[in-house]
Amino acid sequence: MEKPNLQVHKPKKSWVKEARDWTVSLGVAVVAALLIQNYAFAQTEVRNVSMQKTLVEGQRLIEDKISYRFDSPERGDIVIIHGPESDKRLIKRVIGLPGDVINITGDGRVVLNGELQNEPYVKGRTFANGMEMPFTVPPKSVFVMGDNRENSQDSRELGPIAMSSLEGRAIFRLWPPDKFGGLD
């Protein structure tokens, strides 16, 4: 005995319902993208020379805006901070954490908690720039410097940076293509 050919026909969606579904999906995607951009990750462009040799002007980075909500920065992190002017953001390297004692020697080297630091990423010599040394990093603050030590507006001029001023941590280089990848 042959089975009858039963076909189930789904009712067609009206074009109005289809358009509404697409609009809702697109709206959800836009809202999700904006939330991610504002609260999780962002693209940042290097706009100065203070991080040379590591970063150069025009490079584009991915910034992690979440980590510091749950964890503290570490020495060596490349951070984005709110600068002294409200519209200015600075990219610097964390050198000292709360309680660390920083000293800069006469020959331009950094001593952290009594240990001479090996900083192969530094361009130029490090000077105190009028800051009294040794310097103890206060609670809830970090001491930051640019890698281009002779041309950087950083904690030597601005003082310690409040952790609440840390916008995020640079984690990945997008541009230029030949430098694509993680940060050193």
Give pTM, 2 decimals. 0.75
Q: Which residues pair with 135 in a beta bridge?
A: 102
- Residue 50 is a catalytic residue: yes
Higher pLDDT, 19 or 162: 162
Query: Distance between CA atoms of 24 and 146, rounded to whole angstroms?
Result: 45
Q: Is the pLDDT of residue 50 over 60?
A: yes
Per-residue pLDDT band at 175 (split at 50, 70, 90): confident
Catalytic hit among 3, 10, 12, 50 = 50
Question: What is the per-residue pLDDT for 140?
Answer: 94
Catalytic hit among 65, 92, 141, 152 = 92
- Which residue pairs from 67-70 have beta carbons closer than 8 angstroms and sit at least 24 positions apart in sequence? 67/168, 67/169, 68/163, 68/166, 68/168, 68/169
Question: What is the per-residue pLDDT for 106?
Answer: 84
